[in-house]
Amino acid sequence: MHSHLRHGFDYTPLFRFLLSKVGHPWSKVFSEANARLDRPEPVFWMVALHESDKQEYVRTDENSYYSGLWVDEAGLLQKVNPQLTPELMDPFYDCCTHTFNGVVFAQALHRVENLTPEG
């Protein structure tokens, strides 16, 4: 996935836009997103058009995760797993702050709290 990422581009606004459009008609969502992008590929890092491509979450860099999205039979944008929350996520590394849909993982916060010396 990372081999096709372009350096210097921050797609966070795109990912947040897509999340805000869950339940909306995909054709309209894609049209609006694509009109603002230099290329359409980043949309499909997060959105699956085929059942076999669905992922519960996608990792966009070392410590940022977003809900995987897909287009249902009615043509509406949906979360692959609507019940997935930051509290259910586990970071792959202990060194960094991790986020899911822009929210810091609870596990990462607990680790930091446990490392704080008692005063």
Tokens representing residue 23 in the block: 């339940």
CA distance 33 to 28: 9
Chain segment 50-74, per-residue pLDDT in tens: 999 999 999 888 788 999 999 999 9
Supply the pTM of this predicted model. Answer: 0.78
Higher pLDDT among residues 20 and 95, named by residue? 20
Burial class (CB in 10 A: 0-12, 13-18, 19+), 59: middle
Residue spans of the domains in the chain: they are: 2-82
Percentage of the chain lying above the pLDDT 90 cut: 53
Closest CA to 68 of 87, 46, 41, 53: 46
Q: Which residues make beta-bridge pairs with 104?
A: 99
93 touches 64 (CB < 8 A): no
**Residue labelled with tokens 């990912």:** 15
**Residue labelled with tokens 């446990």:** 114
pLDDT at residue 93 is higher than 80: no
